[in-house]
Structure 1
């Protein structure tokens, strides 16, 4: 029996050593990033959130950090993507070292500039109390909607979002971008090759076709765009393509960085702490 006790003790000790060798999410988030000659910047906009757990699993498994742009969009859980149901999910992504930016709280689409001064805009939200209704917003109202999403992200993650935002659909005007910058938010678009196609109809753009196209055309420095669930796509993109895309890009020598490391935004972020 003494031998059995000793073997059991050794087994417990070995297990403890093995556990200690596995980095916690917090340790992963704190790791210094090595030099990167071929960076790409994967970003996700919110959506119905149905694939959000899968996306999180893939990012953790592949040790990839991304930038999320969030709006309070309708979800499959009968709420919105910034509600209390999703708050723990966002907090966990912050602990892993991901970054965040505003997507406007009401997923507010720019439709047109309104002539005159001060600047104002025709805006059509696809979420919130004005969902589907076009109206005129002042620059201050548009800025407030950007800030509302950023403030909510700060509240649920415990981490200050980047002073960046993405306009829904990428629809903007010079006057709109100037208004946003005037209240501290710089616009982030995406590279042509970085449009990963998860919004396109799967009947015409299969997952296999989109994956091949991305791996063939993405170049160093590209900002990539995907979503946390698209209502209209019948064959969802992420379960089939997200991990193969990451693995394929890594095999080609690419490395993944957040927009905090992007050379086009470093100075802006530093000047808007």
Structure 2
């Protein structure tokens, strides 16, 4: 049975918050969007936190142990206080695999061809068994628990959003995690080249195309982008969406995941 002891502590409180939010949602948040961040080089992480706090927006974060600008990693001890503070502010968290493991294709026997971006096997391509993939998801959750004393939600985002039906089945039935993608309009473009996609263009596109219910996706720092996306786009994006009547919620309040979260809580150990 997987992850039962970790879920037992924090999920009841998270679910209470979700129930309260759902009860208020019909009146207070009729046009929700769900802002999510994947880890990155963490260079803009403090700025992201400042904007979210100023705008009183709660977001959802997917954690992998990625290389940072200072030569450390996004889940090292230097960043532990930052994650602890973000958890205390009411944000929610899921796994992004520990070594940012990209799925490439399915292999026979519940195995997957993968390529991690970080860790001891970074850049290598090899086969990973289902249980090994589960451990990859669990490693991020365990590290988050160690840093913050809190539990992740049983949700994950595959690096690059790359999955297959077989991977999703293993993740859900064997590992106990449901996958979270993003809306087409919710791709906020912070990983695109600045010369072809300047911040102004990304902001205009997002404000034009985002619709209620969309899951939005950005990162806590992208190596290839010369013009930092946050806070240059993030702050006016939040303000502009609010002006258009949108509100912000976490994935703990998303109607597509509420039943899954409730079921994981009620089942306890898996």
Give the TM-score normalised by the residue count of structure 1.
0.87
Considering only CA atoms, is the larger Rg found in Structure 1 or Structure 2?
Answer: 1
Q: Residues 22-46 of structure 1, C-alpha deviation per residue, up to 9 Å, x if partnerless? A: xxxxxxxx89654311000000000
Q: Residues 96-138 of structure 1, C-alpha deviation per residue, up to 9 Å, x if partnerless? A: 0000000000000001111x22x10000000111100011000
2:179 corresponds to 1:187: yes
Which residue is equivalent to 1:136?
127
Report deviation, 1:239. 2.3
Of residues 178, 198, 209, the one that matches 2:190 is 198
Residue correspondence of structure 1 range 114-129 to structure 2 within 5 A: 114=107, 116-117=108-109, 119-129=110-120
Structure 2 stretches lacking a partner, 5+ long: 1-16, 266-270
Q: Residues 65-105 of structure 1, C-alpha deviation per residue, up to 9 Å, x if partnerless? A: 00000000000121110010000000000110000000000
Which residue is equivalent to 1:258?
250
Of residues 211, 214, 222, the one that matches 2:203 is 211
Report deviation, 1:236. 1.1
2:91 corresponds to 1:95: no
Structure 1 stretches lacking a partner, 5+ long: 1-29
Give secondary structure in 1 for the equivalent of 2:62. strand
Give secondary structure in 1 for the equivalent of 2:231. helix
Give secondary structure in 1 for the equivalent of 2:102. strand
2:15 corresponds to 1:47: no
Of residues 135, 158, 164, the one that matches 1:173 is 164
Which of structures 1 and 2 has the larger relative contact order (alpha carbons within 8 angstroms, sep 6+)? 2
Report deviation, 1:151. 1.3
Give the TM-score normalised by the residue count of structure 2.
0.88
Count of aligned positions: 242
Which residue is equivalent to 1:16?
none
Report deviation, 1:61. 0.3
Of residues 132, 140, 144, the one that matches 1:149 is 140
Matched-pair contact (CA < 8 Å) for 2:199–2:233: yes
Whole-angstrom distance in 2 between the partners of 1:145 and 1:96: 26
Matched-pair contact (CA < 8 Å) for 2:51–2:231: no
Whole-angstrom distance in 2 between the partners of 1:137 and 1:84: 28
